[in-house]
Structure 1
């Protein structure tokens, strides 16, 4: 304590670490203040640790001031994957489907874009008529123009073979696969308009019966696909069927 012109002035006692008795400054070489501890004046607190002023981001992890963009190194932001695209789940957990529902799946109710042209249908009918008509015609010719019992039996066999081929080709084969031999040759298929699938033997039989209506009034029903939007005969309209091109 000293006195200047009668005024008593008290010398303050310096805090520990700031006097001449302790020349080593705090925050140096392992002293408090290094690596995030309070350091000497001028040293930035938290050096080599958390950088101040950068939102509390680590200094040597994510760069301060440059927050990681969402979706970085994964899905890019701004280009979200469309729900349901390429088989991904759609919104609300529903399975998605790319490019709409293809024809031939259950629940189809629209008009397919690959309806068979009328000349192709005629060509398929002609092939099927040959398959059935040749053996039947041979049998009828033999049985009807001979009195020989053996030839008569041979003619009957040919005729029955034609009937059997008709049942197999038109009812069984077409009912299960949608194609007779003629339709397969021309690349056609008979399907239900409601399902896009083959219609079965029973429904195919009913369709064959309703072809009777197509033959009335100069076969107008068979010509109907020429100008009809759905390219259907009367039998197709009654049985709700399409003939499509594969």
Structure 2
């Protein structure tokens, strides 16, 4: 039997992973799959960023600069909302699907839901403010969380 959690189906809850105070030697909470390391998180983020970059580059090269700026912001906003919807519903964005990671609630291992996932996406702005320190934070944090993850109580796992 596989150790990876099942792919969620609409209306079917994910198995609950108890998130107690106990942790294994790698810092993973008791009962949770292993936490994703910084490299997997960075790779999935890079893939997601490229998906936003490609249409924005096409727009930038084909439109008047003022129209392009507005269109690029709308594209980025639309993709952010779609990513939040995907992550809230399945725990994964396209980048996370490629590398095999998933974002779950810290407390019980359930899916974030759209609101929390959108909040997490928007709160990533705080990760950028102090010289991108929040994006590097998972490299040494015990729970491998960014500032946004800490604020919405989420963890990224690599089953």
The TM-score bracket by the shorter chain reads: 0.7 to 0.9
Equivalent residue in structure 1 for 2:127, among 211, 214, 218: 214
Alpha-carbon distance in structure 2 between the residues aligned to 1:132 and 1:217:
23
Displacement of 1:162: 5.3
Q: Please tell me the root mean square deviation across aligned C-alpha atoms, in Å.
A: 2.4
Alignment of 1:147-166 (within 5 A): 159=72, 160-161=74-75, 163-166=77-80
**Which TM-score applies when normalising by structure 2?**
0.74
Match of 1:178 in 2: 91
Match of 1:115 in 2: 35
Distance 1:109 1:131, change over 3 A: same
Match of 1:129 in 2: 49
Count of paired positions: 135
Larger radius of gyration: 1
Alpha-carbon distance in structure 2 between the residues aligned to 1:106 and 1:196:
5
Q: Which structure has the higher relative contact order (CA within 8 Å, separation 6+)?
A: 2
Q: Deviations over 1:65-108 (max 9, x none)?
A: xxxxxxxxxxxxxxxxxxxxxxxxxxxxxxxxxxxxxxx53472
Equivalent residue in structure 2 for 1:138, among 49, 58, 65: 58
CA contact (8 A) 2:137 2:146 kept: yes
Match of 1:229 in 2: 142
Greater fraction of residues in helix: 2
Structure 1 runs not aligned, ≥5 long: 1-103, 147-151
Alpha-carbon distance in structure 1 between the residues aligned to 2:76 and 2:128:
22
Alpha-carbon distance in structure 2 between the residues aligned to 1:106 and 1:240:
15
CA contact (8 A) 1:106 1:194 kept: no
Alpha-carbon distance in structure 1 between the residues aligned to 2:86 and 2:79:
10
